[in-house]
């Protein structure tokens, strides 16, 4: 039985792994490694044919994981992801049609923004938690810091180009609750099924906080 969705994705851990799964057979051991390392929120992107099967397997076999779907860009994907067991949704951008589908899904969602106008438009619609994407290319920490003054009610999960060196700078910002990234999932470790290495990298990521010190 699928667990209830979290009240907020942003408060589960300082880092949300962004996972691209090519082989659904990797899903369960990969998720177990991330959870063991202290990263329970796992965003499986809908970029591959294996993604929905991966979400389904993680939801069924890894109860301590909070599995979600990323790269959600259509109402159809919203329904498919939730049916597979996704407990949150993340989009790279949004439209009113997509927003209403996510709002009606019954699970938390993070619509993607990259401009001040998009943030204001979501605030008008009652949405305060957002993905900032692509973070580095869209202005990075300087841009997000500039938003915190006029728009303090918006909370972000920046994703895109963030690694272990830059993550603490994002986490130091008052309007950033967590960051998304894939650096704890090197492709050679996934291909080689080196789950111990992934768990160790996840543990290091879970310990990140503002200033680079462990929480």
CA 124 to each of CA 10, 53, 120: distance values in angstroms, whole numbers, following the listed order:
20, 36, 6
Per residue in 58-90, pLDDT (tens digit) is 999 999 999 999 999 999 999 999 999 999 999
Which pLDDT does position 198 carry in this prediction?
Answer: 98
The yes-or-no answer on residue 131 being catalytic is yes
Q: Among the options 43, 57, 129, 199, which is catalytic?
A: 43
Query: Which pLDDT score, from 0 to 100, does residue 6 have?
Result: 81
Helix axes 27-36, 51-61, angle to 10 degrees: 50
* pLDDT under 50: residue ranges of the chain: 1, 211-215
Is 43 a residue of the active site?
A: yes
Which of the residues 57, 129, 131, 199 is marked catalytic?
A: 131
Give the pTM.
Answer: 0.94
């Amino acid at each position: 039985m699928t667990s209830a969705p979290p009240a907020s994705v942003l408060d589960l851990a300082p880092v949300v792994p962004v996972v691209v799964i090519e082989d659904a057979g990797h899903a369960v051991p990969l998720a177990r490694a991330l959870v063991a390392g202290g990263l329970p929120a796992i965003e499986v992107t809908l970029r591959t044919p294996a993604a929905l099967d991966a979400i389904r397997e993680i939801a069924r076999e890894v109860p301590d994981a909070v599995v979600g779907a990323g790269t959600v860009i259509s109402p159809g994907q919203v329904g498919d992801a939730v049916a597979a067991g996704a407990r949150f949704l993340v989009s790279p951008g949004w439209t009113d049609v997509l927003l209403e589908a996510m709002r009606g899904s019954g699970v938390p969602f993070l619509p993607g923004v990259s401009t001040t106008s998009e943030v204001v438009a979501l605030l008008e619609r009652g949405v305060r938690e957002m993905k900032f994407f692509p973070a580095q290319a869209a202005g990075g920490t300087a841009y997000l810091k500039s938003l915190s003054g006029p728009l303090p009610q918006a909370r972000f999960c920046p994703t895109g180009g963030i690694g272990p060196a830059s993550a603490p700078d994002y986490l130091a910002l008052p309007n950033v609750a967590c960051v998304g990234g894939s650096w704890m999932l090197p492709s050679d470790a996934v291909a080689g099924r080196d789950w111990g290495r992934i768990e160790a990298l996840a543990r290091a990521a879970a310990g990140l906080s503002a200033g680079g010190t462990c929480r």
